[in-house]
């Protein structure tokens, strides 16, 4: 049995908790917004860029650890997309009602489902710790 050091298995890193976790989630949200800007900017150029516009946020979300980090990234990306869906002052839209626009919106829904489904259950950390009995 390996000694308990408080480090995460296989990474050697300390787990993020408290203010550090909130700061990391905020940074992931900013990265999500930047990725969303890039996705919205190139989604109507051609199909290859459109596929990359969907693959980039999906791969980033899958690479992040489930929990606040993944939710922060997805929240930033989806928030930017929903802002882009609003009518511009000129009366047109950034995301048009074309197949690519609808697929971009479907990609946002997939990211939301991915973030919510992979959230750890409350109390899961307490369940994984061995029960301490008074001796």
* Inter-helix orientation angle 68-84/18-42, to 10°: 30
Residue 21 burial (10 A CB sphere; 0-12, 13-18, 19+): middle
> What is the pLDDT, as a whole number, of residue 7?
46
> What is the pLDDT, as a whole number, of residue 120?
77
Do residues 54 and 103 lie in contact, with contact meaning Cβ atoms separated by under 8 Å? yes
pLDDT in tens, 54-76: 898 999 888 888 888 888 999 99
Domains of the chain, by residue range, sit at: 19-119
Higher per-residue pLDDT: 119 or 134: 119
pLDDT > 70 in the chain, percent: 75
Ranges of H-type helices in the chain: 18-42, 47-63, 68-84, 99-117, 124-128
90 vs 133: CA distance, rounded Å? 68
pLDDT in tens, 78-109: 999 888 888 777 766 677 778 888 888 899 99
């Amino acid at each position: 049995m390996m000694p308990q050091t408080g480090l995460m298995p296989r990474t050697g890193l300390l787990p993020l908790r408290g203010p550090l976790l909130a700061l990391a989630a905020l940074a992931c949200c900013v990265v999500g917004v930047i990725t969303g800007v890039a996705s919205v900017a190139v989604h109507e150029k051609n199909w290859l860029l459109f596929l990359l516009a969907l693959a980039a946020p999906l791969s980033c979300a899958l690479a992040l650890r489930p929990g606040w980090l993944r939710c922060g990234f997805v929240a930033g990306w989806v928030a930017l997309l929903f802002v882009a869906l609003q009518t511009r002052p000129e009366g047109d839209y950034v995301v048009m009602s074309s197949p690519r626009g609808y697929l971009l919106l479907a990609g946002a829904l997939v990211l939301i489902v991915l973030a919510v489904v992979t959230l750890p259950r409350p109390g899961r950390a307490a369940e994984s710790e061995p029960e301490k009995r008074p001796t």
